[in-house]
Amino acid sequence: MTTRLNPQTTPRHELRAEKARRNKEAALAAFIGKKAEIDEMLARLQALSDDHFGFDPEAVNWGSVGSLEHVASDLREITDFLFGEGEYAE
């Protein structure tokens, strides 16, 4: 038995497929854009780290340590999320 396509639904199916393809392309473009944004932030963070996060090593105090602890805590949250560690571990 041969299945015949309904000519009235075939164009609708093709429109849905085209919409899905465009949606996938848009998602990929958005993903690449966000990745570039993250890469830029990481490069800036690395440069700032190379410069001791703007702190004069001779003038470091416990406030400086607290500032870096805050940054480390935020980065730990991000890395735990991305690597499935800490509270995100299964």
Whether the pLDDT of residue 64 is over 70: the answer is: yes
Alpha-carbon distance values, 87 to 29, 68, 69, 72, 84 (Å) = 31, 21, 18, 16, 8
CA dihedral for 57, 61, 64, 66, sign (positive or negative): positive
Closest CA to 42 of 7, 75, 2, 66: 75
% of the chain beyond a pLDDT of 90: 81
**Mean pLDDT on 45-69:** 96
Mean pLDDT of the chain: 92
Model confidence pTM above 0.85: no
